[in-house]
Every structure is written in C-alpha cells, then in structure tokens.
Structure 1
Amino acid sequence: MDLSGDAFSKACRDGGHQIESWLRVVDREHGARFYREAAAALRSWQEAEDVVQEAMIKVWQRCASFRGVGDPIAWIHQIVRHTLLDALDKRRPQAPLLDDSGELTAEVQAAVLKLADSAVARPEQQLAEHQLEQVFKRCFERFAAECPLHATVLRWVVDEGLDNSDIERLLDRSPGATREFISQCRKKARPYFAEWHALVAAGEPDDGQAGRERRGR
C-alpha cells in the first residue's frame, strides 16, 4: 500500500475502510519501532502496547487535520511520542537528585566520589571496549528505570538526532524552557554514569604526570 502523504490524505477523506486499512499497514510496517521506543521508556511491554494503541486512536480521530504536507509516518510517530510523554508524566515523580540551587545533592556527590576513587585506585587496569559498553548499558538502564522521562528525551537527542526545536514541539514548551529541561536531563544523568566516566578516566594517562615526566627528561 502507498504510504505517501497524498495516499494518507485520500484515506483520511474517504474514511471508514480506507483509513482502517492504511493504519493496519502502518502498524504492520512501523508498529514494532513504536512499541520498542515506548517499552524502552516505560520498561513495560503492556504499558507500551497501551500507549501505541491510544496513539493510533488519536491518529484516527485527528487524521482530518493532516494536510498532506510532510511524511505521514513522521506525523504519526510524533503523536506516539506525545502519548508516551503523557504516560511518563502520569508516573509518580522520583526523588530529586538536585538540590534547590540545581546542584547534585551531597549524597549523590559522595556516591560519585566513591565510584571515582575506587576506579582511580587501579589506573593500570585497561578495560576492553566491549566491557565499557556493558558498563555504559548498565548505567543507562538504571537511569532509564529511575528517570524515564529524562532518559527518553536524551535518547531522542543523542540517538535519533532530534534538535531543540523538535523537543520543543514534543514537550510543548518555550525555547528557553526546552533548553533548560534538556540541561536538567544531562544533570540528572551525571550520577548514573559516574561509574562509566570513572572507568574511562582510569584508563587515560594523567596529563599532569606525563608533563612532569617529559620535563624531567
């Protein structure tokens, strides 16, 4: 079936069986990607299924507003993402990692220092790339489990290349508020990736020590 904007606009105008058939094809060809994205954020296939189904209902209800400009799959994907953000917003907020001034709390800072000290104590240890990837994956999974909304937005920025204007539209925030939120996402991520950063740092040469050695020769 033709999944172009013109074909979708025609299906929307015809309604009934035409739009139903069109959406079945979309679900067959793109549904798995929508489910994976929702499941990664929600950490629940059941909740992901509910989000995607709710999004498809919204697509059905709003199809008349599509004007045939741009990619209809991208338009549908945006509705899925809005629905996912709504689901994440309904979850109970997590305990804050930042204090009132926007800095990491004392407890988090202590945990970061402990991880860094334990890694730096063995600077000779060289971790293979696949080991670092496993640590990174574990850090991200913990971050996503405890801060799913922030992890989802960072995944869109880093993995999918969405820019601030894309995130602004998804979050329905002003440009300034969007920049601040993305900054908050990065701040929240820092303590979760402390282990990975410390291991990377432990495997790098000490520039200061190297400089002293060069000057001593």
Structure 2
Amino acid sequence: MTGDDQELMAAAAGGDVAAFDALVRRHTTKLYRVALRIVGDPADAEDVVQEAWVSAWRSMAGFRGEAAPTTWLYRVVTNAALAHLRRRRPTVPLEPEGKVESALADRSPTPEQAALSREKVDAVLRAIALLEPSQRVPLVLRELEGMSYEEVASVLEVSVAALRSRLHRARVALLAKLEELR
C-alpha cells in the first residue's frame, strides 16, 4: 500500500492492516533509534518498539490528527521507552551507531583526528546515557533525531517554552556528566 502518513493513519484507524503494516515498515527504524537512545540496550529497544507498535495499533482510533503522524508515533515510542525505564534501568552504556556518529563526529582528515573525534562521540553518548530520562529524552529527540522544538514539545506534551527550559537543564547536566567522565 502506498500513501502519505495521514492517509495510512486514517486507513489503519479504520482497521486496514495493510496500511498499518506500511506505517510499521516506514517508521520502525526511526522509532528503534529513538528507543535505543532512551533505553540504552539494543534488545530492550527492540522490545520497546514492539510494545509501541502494539500500543499504537490499539489506540490508532484515538489519533485525532492534531499532530503529524510521526510526532504521534514518537510520543508512543517515547512513552513506551519511559515505561520500560521505570520497570528496569539499563545496565550497559550505549554504543554509538549510524546517525549519531554522523551527527556528532567531525570529518577528520587524519587517523589521529578520527580517533580523537571517535573518543569525543563515545564520551558524549556515555554522558547522555547517564542522564535522567527526563533530561535524556528531549536531548535525544532534539539533538540526535533532529526534531524541531515544536515536534519535541508535542511528543512530550509540553509547551515550547517548557521544552526550551528542559533542554537547557539537560545540556547543563550533560556538560557536568562530561566533566565527570574526564
């Protein structure tokens, strides 16, 4: 099935399994990346995404279209990840991968610079993993996933002003964690 996300959401809300499957195929990778950055463990992230899709299917009829479908899906996966963290804290720090590397790493011309850049990326990701979920989630969505302030505020169900405040506190905490790791 083809179509934009709004059409797919409307069809899935009406019980169209093919439309829901198209949404799953289209968005699972992005949702997994968010879940991984929040929970810190690949196996746990897979579980969170699975839980999020089950929850999304069950509550699809409740999608009112006030937010973009992707924003709604980010909210569902974020809530599932936070619920997972409340049940069990991660025990292994995050390993850098994919988009995060490109978002944080410099394009280093020499091997020495590349190694130094890699160390910086690793340190930032370790520091993010040590933050409280209330600080980690907005940072992951805004800085690593590149969502707009409005999208992140919608996912977290807060005002943009409140989000900016949370991000400021998260960035300050991140800097403190980086200092601790040094």
Shared fold (TM-score, shorter chain, > 0.5) = yes
**Corresponding position of 2:27:** 30
User: 1:58 and 2:59 equivalent?
Assistant: no
| Residues 1:42 and 2:39 are matched in the alignment | yes
For the 8 Å contact 1:154–1:185, the answer to whether it is kept is yes
Q: What TM-score results when the alignment is normalised by the length of structure 1?
A: 0.59
Identical positions, percent: 25
Q: After the TM superposition, which residues 101-180 of structure 1 pair with which residues of structure 2 at under 5 Å, given as runs?
A: 128-147=112-131, 149=133, 150-180=135-165
Aligned partners of 2:128 and 2:136 also within 8 Å: yes
> 1:70 Cα deviation (Å)?
6.6
Matches within 5 A, 1:10-21: 10-13=11-14, 15=15, 18=16, 20-21=17-18
**One-letter code aligned to 1:85:** L
Distance change (3 Å), C-alpha of 1:136 and 1:175: same
Query: What is the identity, as a one-letter code, of the residue corresponding to 1:53?
Result: Q
Deviation at 1:8, TM superposition (A): 3.0
- For 1:38 and 1:75, locate their aligned partners in 2 and report how far apart those are by CA, in whole Å: 14
SS of match in other structure, 2:2: coil
Instruction: In structure 1, give the amino acid aligned to 2:169.
Output: Q
Bigger CA radius of gyration: 1
> Counterparts of 2:168 and 2:2 in 1: how far apart (Å)?
41
Unpaired runs of 5+ in structure 2? Answer: 90-110
Deviation of residue 194 (structure 1)?
A: 3.7
Distance 1:90 1:29 in 2: 29
Query: Quick one: distance in 2 between partners of 1:70 and 1:181?
Result: 21
One-letter amino acid of the counterpart of residue 26, structure 2: E
Mapped to 1, the partners of 2:43 and 2:132 lie a distance apart of 16
Contact 1:143 1:151 in 2 (8 A): no
Match of 1:192 in 2: 177
Q: Could you give the per-residue CA deviations for residues 149-206 of structure 1, whole angstroms, max 9, x where no partner exists?
A: 223421322233334333333333345543332121011111333499x9xxxxxxxx
Aligned residue for 1:40, secondary structure, equals: helix
Q: Does the residue aligned with 1:193 lie in a helix, a strand or coil?
A: helix
TM-score (norm 2): 0.68
Q: Which residue of 2 aligns with 1:2?
A: 2
Structure 1 runs of 4+ aligned residues shifted over 4 Å read: 67-71, 89-92
Work out whether residues 143 and 189 of structure 1, in 8 Å CA contact, stay in contact via their aligned partners in 2: yes
Distance in 1 between residues matched to 2:180 and 2:72, nearest whole Å = 38
Aligned length: 160
Q: Is the 2:127–2:177 Cα contact (8 Å) retained in structure 1?
A: yes
- Offset, 1:90: 5.2
Q: How does 1:92-103 map to 2 (within 5 A)?
A: none
Structure 1 residue runs of 5 or longer lacking an equivalent are: 93-126, 199-217
